[in-house]
């Protein structure tokens, strides 16, 4: 499966899981100047936000700066790699952080 195919389905599952009335998903443009390594998705659930770097699988190659941004923004908000093999774990963690 291509990353873009997985991402499209993931966005639908995120909106369904967290509620279409309070969830917005922004796809971040990797081609904008200065955005190298910025996570693919910003997920807004009510007043909270999450950053997700989408990969087609756990074995997908990382691009330059992706690990750096995941770690850096992970100090400020929920920030994670997400792929089919860890999707439930990541979405569960997002849900737990909303309940905290």
Task: Write out the residue range of the structural domain in which residue 44 sits.
Answer: 3-99
Q: What is the pLDDT of residue 19?
A: 97
Per the CB < 8 A criterion, the answer to whether 60 and 83 are in contact is: yes
Read off the pTM. 0.92
Q: What is the pLDDT of residue 65?
A: 84
pLDDT per residue, tens digit, the chain (100 aa), is 889 999 999 999 999 999 999 999 999 987 777 777 789 999 999 999 999 999 999 999 988 788 888 998 889 999 999 999 999 999 999 999 998 7
Q: What is the pLDDT of residue 95?
A: 96
**What is the C-alpha separation between 28 and 37, in angstroms, rounded?**
10
Coil vs helix vs strand at 1: coil
Q: What is the pLDDT of residue 9?
A: 98
Domain with residue 64: its CATH number is 3.40.1350.10
Give the tokens for residue 58: 């756990």
Q: What is the pLDDT of residue 47?
A: 95
The number of folded domains in the chain is 1
């Amino acid at each position: 499966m291509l990353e873009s195919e997985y991402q499209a389905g993931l966005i639908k599952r995120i909106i369904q899981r967290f509620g279409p009335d309070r969830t917005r998903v922004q796809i971040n443009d990797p081609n904008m100047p200065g955005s190298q390594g910025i996570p693919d998705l910003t997920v807004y659930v009510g007043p909270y936000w999450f950053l997700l770097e989408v990969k087609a699988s756990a074995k997908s190659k990382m691009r330059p700066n992706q690990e750096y941004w995941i770690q850096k923004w992970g100090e400020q908000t929920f920030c994670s790699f997400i792929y089919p093999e860890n999707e439930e774990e990541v979405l569960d963690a997002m849900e737990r952080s909303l309940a905290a």
